A and B are shown apart, each in its own frame.
Chain A
Amino acid sequence: EPEVTQTPSHQVTQMGQEVILRCVPISNHLYFYWYRQILGQKVEFLVSFYNNEISEKSEIFDDQFSVERPDGSNFTLKIRSTKLEDSAMYFCASRGQGAPPQHFGDGTRLSIL
Chain B
Amino acid sequence: DAKTTQPNSMESNEEEPVHLPCNHSTISGTDYIHWYRQLPSQGPEYVIHGLTSNVNNRMASLAIAEDRKSSTLILHRATLRDAAVYYCILRIDFGNEKLTFGTGTRLTIIP
Contacts and interface: CB of A to CB of B under 8 A. Distances in A.
Given A42-B103, A100-B34, A100-B93, A56 B98 contact: yes
A60 interface: no
Contacts of B28: none
Given A44-B101, A48-B96, A55-B96, A106 B34 contact: no
B12 interface: no
Interface residues of A, number: 24
A56 B99 CA distance: 12
- Range of interface residues on B (Cβ < 8 Å): 20 to 34
B49 A100 contact: yes
A45 B99 contact: yes
B100 A103 contact: no
B49 A43 contact: no
Interface centre among B34, B98, B99 (most CB of A within 10 A): B98
A75 interface: no
A31 B97 CA distance: 10
